[in-house]
Amino acid sequence: MKSPHRVTIIGGGFAGLNCAQSLANDDRFSVTLIDQQNHHLFQPLLYQVATASLSAVDIARSLRAVLGKAQNVSVILDKVTDIACDKNEIITEHGSHSYDSLVIATGARTSYFGKDEWAKHTYGLKNLEDSRQIRHQVLNALERAERCDDIEEQKRLMSVAIIGGGPTGVELAGAFSDLVRRALKTDYRRIDLKDFRIVLIQSGERILKSFSEDHSAYTLERLQELGVEVILGPRVDEVKEGYLHLNDGQEIQAETLIWAAGVGASPITECLECPRDRGGRIEVEPSLAVPGHPNIFAAGDLVSLTDPDGKTVPGLAPAAMQMGKHVAKVLKEDLRLQKTRYADRYLTLRPAYRYKDKGIMAIIGKNAAVAQTGKMKLKGFPAWLAWLFIHLAFLIGFRNKLAVLLSWAFSYLFDKPAARVFSICKEDAKGEPNSGAK
Ligand SMILES: Cc1cc2nc3c(=O)[nH]c(=O)nc-3n(C[C@H](O)[C@H](O)[C@H](O)COP(=O)(O)OP(=O)(O)OC[C@H]3O[C@@H](n4cnc5c(N)ncnc54)[C@H](O)[C@@H]3O)c2cc1C
């Protein structure tokens, strides 16, 4: 019997996991999924871990558990460091793996638009460790403010500045407001959490640029009602420890600086010789194959593509899931065509990926969200309800769904977030600013 086609997938996020699941238990394929983390992470809820509404385990699920029943799929915990295309091999921190077909689905990373030195003064939000650090930083800053006698220092400790007014920035700002003004409001004796300052900085004319103007305006109004200071227009041009300078001369002192302004493709894409856009995303062929490498595919956030219908594929979870499934479809089609009279031109017959737009949504705070899909636009409570249901539906694993549902119900009814516990490490005890920032 012919040995199965070896597919290696790098990354167990939305794209990689959907690709592996679509090939699961198909004995024509032997699949190896490699991820540097042992879990699949539901990134859309990361901000809730950062703001103490959910615990990290609620939004992540072990990749082995998800793929445990897929007999032809092996999971390997390792970091891919290089791709040797000439040998059909990938190099990892702990060894190497040969493949017949390779799927790169390593997602995006936080991008500082060439100012990488800003990373050490700000927190990004891409993985569980980032969200844990933000939560730790903010809760610890409140503890330090509570025992501080200097009013100016207290103000600084009780300030968060978020750079970037896209969905992540908006959701973080709204959730911090809910945290300090509702959930924690009676917990401290020496500081008044009404004084907690949340600043959201967006260089353009409006927040939530990818939404309608009406939704942007509604979101701005709701955030202002929640006590968030929104600065529209100027750009951040200098970042130091606990300090931001904007190009209109404004200065902001804040103990916690969060960078939610940009993403670029994961660095592994640099191992390949292929066309890339300014963000480093691979400009793939319509089938999602990497140009010049017919047996290598890319899927998810690291892809730059305008589909045959003229739609630019966004960096969103539904697009990544669809792309992961599409690559599996192409791999199956390749095998089928190779047994027919079209074997010599199967590469030209690969189906093109078409993005099915599922819409966009962002939550602003309790009972407030915006959502749009096609011509339908929702805002306020209906959008908030839709947001809750859709996020629950897409969360992987029954245990996670139940845990998140219970946490949300508890927070909604009693205004008490679930995940307020953090532990003190030596640097925090010294009270060093931004001890956790990377
Ligand atoms: C804070 C935040 C909020 C978001 N909110 C929404 C939302 O509300 N709705 C929405 O649709 N989308 C949202 N997104 C975007 C969505 O999460 C992404 O589009 C989606 O995760 C992309 O899937 P992916 O598979 O391409 O990458 P990812 O899900 O990022 O998965 C990449 C995987 O690759 C692994 N990996 C990376 N490099 C290596 C390596 N060298 N070796 C081995 N493994 C590696 C990573 O560990 C990770 O598991 C949000 C993203 C963030 C960060």
pLDDT of residue 427: 52
73 pLDDT higher than 90: yes
Task: Give dist(CA 118, CA 80) in Å, integer.
Answer: 26
The order of strands in the sheet holding 376-379 is 360-365, 368-373, 376-379
What mean pLDDT do residues 296-311 have? Answer: 96
- The amino acid occupying position 237 is D
pLDDT digits (tens, 9 = 90+) for 95-116: 999 999 999 999 999 999 889 9
- The amino acid occupying position 135 is R
Lowest-confidence range among 21-35, 198-212, 221-235, 259-273? 259-273
pLDDT band at residue 438 under the 50/70/90 scheme: very low
pLDDT digits (tens, 9 = 90+) for 156-179: 999 999 999 999 999 999 999 999
Task: Give dist(CA 44, CA 362) in Å, integer.
Answer: 10
pLDDT of residue 411: 81
Catalytic residue among 117, 171, 225, 270: 171
Q: Does any ligand 1 atom lie closer than 6 A to the CB of residue 107?
A: yes
pLDDT of residue 374: 84
Strand pairing report for 228-232 and 5-10: unpaired
Same fold, 5-36+78-110+263-349 and 116-261+366-430: yes
Question: For residue 315, what are the contacts with CB-CB under 8 A and spacing of at least 6?
Answer: 108, 263, 301
- Do 330 and 289 meet the contact criterion of CB atoms below 8 Å apart? yes
- Do 296 and 282 meet the contact criterion of CB atoms below 8 Å apart? no
pLDDT digits (tens, 9 = 90+) for 125-166: 999 999 999 999 999 999 999 999 999 999 999 999 999 999
pLDDT digits (tens, 9 = 90+) for 355-404: 999 999 999 988 999 999 988 999 999 999 999 999 999 998 888 999 88
CA of 43 to the centre of ligand 1 (A): 6
Q: What residue owns the CA closest to ligand 1's atom 33?
A: 11
Is 15 in a helix, a strand, or coil? helix
Q: Does any ligand 1 atom lie closer than 6 A to the CB of residue 363?
A: no
CA of 225 to the centre of ligand 1 (A): 31
Task: Give dist(CA 246, CA 280) in Å, integer.
Answer: 27
With CA atoms as reference, report the closest residue to 215 among 179, 260, 178, 170.
170
pLDDT of residue 99: 98
- For 185: left if phi > 0, alpha if psi spans -120 to 50, otherwise beta; the answer is alpha
- Do 359 and 373 meet the contact criterion of CB atoms below 8 Å apart? yes
Task: Give dist(CA 136, CA 197) in Å, integer.
Answer: 17
* Bridge partners of residue 253, in order along the sequence: 243
Q: Does any ligand 1 atom lie closer than 6 A to the CB of residue 262?
A: no
With CA atoms as reference, report the closest residue to 218 among 352, 341, 367, 3.
367
What mean pLDDT do residues 183-188 have? Answer: 86
Q: Does any ligand 1 atom lie closer than 6 A to the CB of residue 43?
A: yes
- Do 358 and 318 meet the contact criterion of CB atoms below 8 Å apart? yes
pLDDT of residue 415: 73
Q: Where are the domains of the chain?
A: 5-36+78-110+263-349, 116-261+366-430
pLDDT band at residue 433 under the 50/70/90 scheme: very low
Lowest-confidence range among 4-8, 93-97, 247-251, 397-401? 397-401
Domain range 116-261+366-430, CATH architecture: 3-Layer(bba) Sandwich (3.50)
CA 36 to chain centre: 16
Q: Does any ligand 1 atom lie closer than 6 A to the CB of residue 80?
A: yes
CA of 14 to the centre of ligand 1 (A): 7
Strand pairing report for 159-163 and 197-202: parallel
**Most confident stretch, 216-220, 279-283, 338-342:** 216-220
- For 292: left if phi > 0, alpha if psi spans -120 to 50, otherwise beta; the answer is left
Q: What's the start-to-end Cα distance of the chain, in Å?
A: 52
Q: Which pTM does this prediction carry?
A: 0.93
Report the top-level CATH class of 5-36+78-110+263-349. alpha beta
pLDDT band at residue 9 under the 50/70/90 scheme: very high
Average pLDDT, the chain: 92
Query: Rounded to whole angstroms, what are the CA distances from 36 to 12, 13, 33, 428?
Result: 9, 11, 10, 28
CA of 107 to the centre of ligand 1 (A): 5
435 pLDDT higher than 50: no
pLDDT of residue 414: 77
143-155 burial, b at 16+ Cβ within 10 Å, e below that, comes to: bbbeebeeeeebb
What the block records as the tokens of 237 is 């041009």
Active site residue 171: yes
DSSP 329-391: HHHHHHHHHTTSTTGGGGGGGPPPP------EEEEEETTEEEEEETTEEEESHHHHHHHHHHH
pLDDT digits (tens, 9 = 90+) for 412-429: 887 766 666 666 665 554
Task: Give dist(CA 367, CA 344) in Å, integer.
Answer: 58
Task: Give dist(CA 121, CA 437) in Å, integer.
Answer: 6
Query: Rounded to whole angstroms, what are the CA distances from 187 to 143, 146, 179, 184, 420?
Result: 11, 10, 11, 5, 11
